[in-house]
Amino acid sequence: MNPLLNVDDALSKILGDMLTLEAETVSLPDAHDRVLAEDIVSPIDLPPFDNSAMDGYAIRYGDSAAASRSNPTRLAVAMDIMAGSAPDGQLEAGAAARIMTGAPIPSGASAVIPVEDTDDDWSKGENSPLPASVSLYRSLRKGENIRRAGENIKVGETIMKAGSDIGPAEVGMIAGIGRPRVEVIRQPKVVILSSGDELVDIYDELSPGKIRDTNGYTLAALARQAGGVPIRLPIAKDSLDSIRALYRRALSISPDLLISTAGVSVGAADLVRVVMDELGEIDFWRINMRPGKPLAYGTIQGVPFFGLPGNPVSTMVTFEVLVRPALAKIAGRSISQRRVKATAADDMRSDGRRTYARVTLTREDERLIARATGIQSSGALMSMVLADGLAIIAEDQEVVRAGSELDVLLLRTVNL
């Protein structure tokens, strides 16, 4: 028997093999949650013109120098500038322009006094009659309440780099520079394969000896969460013909990644292995991890392939540790796993393989406490429902004592 393969070595081999997909063009609303495939350079200044940060009066700031509440300065109101209008003409010394938030600053003006600091009252709204004059209750600094053209971004500036995630702010910014379409990395098509005579789908009767295919559903959800487009195929029977047909159908979809579960454990019907060997270049790895020791990895007609162990927890844990980073690389996303440090609430045991133990996390007296979720059987999917994270027990460490510190891979957002 070959020695067990180290988890980190397995992962670096996998990451070395994965290629990031090509770009495609999508409309801006569809770009949300995608990965940018181009640098975005602004063709304009933003804001495009000097504008008011307040509802108030634009003035020459020097005209306010002597103004105070007890001794206001009175200016003639010479202009009225609404948002969306383009003022023409110059604001003269001794005059004020009524101006709305976002409206362009007229030339000559060098500050905006908020309406609250004047004797005007806009409680009647924007349609209040334009007063003949306005009293200023305070002095202003040069440029006060003016948002300068280009203060947000300048023409020619690179505002986002290829490879960044497009969140709501990025969508808004790209809209702001007037781009209706954007280049993003294509989303990986992930085909998910289940096989086994014991498996039935969720619509089917649970007759004696049968269980439901849960891996197909968890994997589809995990693939979607990781930015892929999952395609779950019908369950194959434990026969060569059925498994061959399943793999052929999978390949006909032109997937970017194939994930199968079951058929890689010792003692599993060897049929899946036979088909994997027939169609692809597959290594059968024994990884030094628990759960998830047996794993098939390689390519099938050029498509990256993972044959994950069939036990539902092993399926999920091997996905988290090995497939999620691989899928991130294919999708052009940053490969960051969210880890925190936590203190073990109780003694935890391992068999000397690197162990990923399901734990809950709670904040107690400034410390983050990791507590095992109870049953740790690799068949007990409920332990994943309960778990906030996977506590990592290093290789060759057979006991982690209560009170010692552990690395925990987060499985969900928790209130830390």
Q: Which helix (DSSP H) or strand (DSSP E) does residue 230 occupy?
A: strand 229-232
Q: How far apart are the first and last CA of the chain?
A: 43
Residue 242 engages ligand AMP in binding (rule: CB under 6 A): no
Work out whether 312 is an interface residue with Mg ion (CB under 5 A): no
Q: Can you list the alpha helix ranges (DSSP code H) found in 204-362? A: 215-225, 240-252, 271-279, 312-318, 324-330
Between residues 87 and 196, which has the closer beta carbon with respect to Mg ion?
A: 196
The amino acid at residue 296 is A
Distances (CA, A) of 363 to 256, 304, 342, 386, 416: 40, 40, 9, 16, 6
Partner in contact with 213, chosen from ligand AMP, Mg ion, none, beta carbon below 5 to 8 Å by kind? ligand AMP
Which range of residues in 21-29, 51-59, 80-88, 214-222 is near ligand AMP by CB under 6 A?
214-222
Taking the complex as a whole, the smallest distance from the CB of residue 379 to ligand AMP amounts, in Å, to 6
Which residue lies nearer to ligand AMP by CB, 42 or 378?
A: 378
Find the shortest distance in angstroms from Cβ 194 to ligand AMP.
4
Question: What is the dihedral angle through the alpha carbons of 64, 46, 49, 150, rounded to the nearest 10 degrees?
Answer: 60
Shorter beta-carbon distance to ligand AMP: residue 368 or 384: 384
Under rule CB under 6 A, residue 213 binds ligand AMP: yes
Other beta carbons within 10 angstroms of residue 124's beta carbon come to 8
The answer to whether the beta carbons of residues 178 and 45 sit under 8 Å apart is: no
**Contact partner, 194, from Mg ion, ligand AMP, none, Cβ < 5-8 Å per class:** ligand AMP
Half-sphere CA count of 309, side-chain side, radius 13 A: 23
Residue 385 three-state SS: helix
Give 87 or 216: the residue with its C-beta nearer to ligand AMP: 216
Among 72, 216, 291, 292, binds ligand AMP (CB under 6 A): 216
Closer CB to ligand AMP, residue 246 or residue 264?
A: 264
Distance CA 213, CA 216 (A): 6
User: Amino acid identity of 191?
Assistant: V
Nearest residue to Mg ion, scored by beta-carbon proximity? 196
Using CB under 6 A as the binding rule, the residues of this chain from 271 to 310 that contact ligand AMP are 310
Q: Contacting ligand AMP (CB under 6 A), which of 146, 160, 199, 222? A: 199
* 3-class secondary structure per residue, 117-181: HECCCCCCCCCCCCCCEEEECCCCCCCCCEECCCCCECCCCEEECCCCECCHHHHHHHHHCCCCE
**Contact code string over 147-186 relative to Mg ion, x by CB under 5 A:** ----------------------------------------
Cα 248 to Cα 190: distance, rounded to the nearest angstrom: 15
Does residue 262 bind Mg ion (CB under 5 A)? yes
Q: Report in angstroms how near the CB of residue 277 gets to ligand AMP at its nearest.
A: 16
Q: Which of residues 185-224 bind Mg ion (CB under 5 A)?
A: 196
Q: Does 312 bind ligand AMP (CB under 6 A)?
A: yes
Interacting residues toward ligand AMP by CB under 6 A: 194, 196, 198-199, 211, 213-216, 261-265, 268, 310-312
Interacting residues toward Mg ion by CB under 5 A: 196, 262
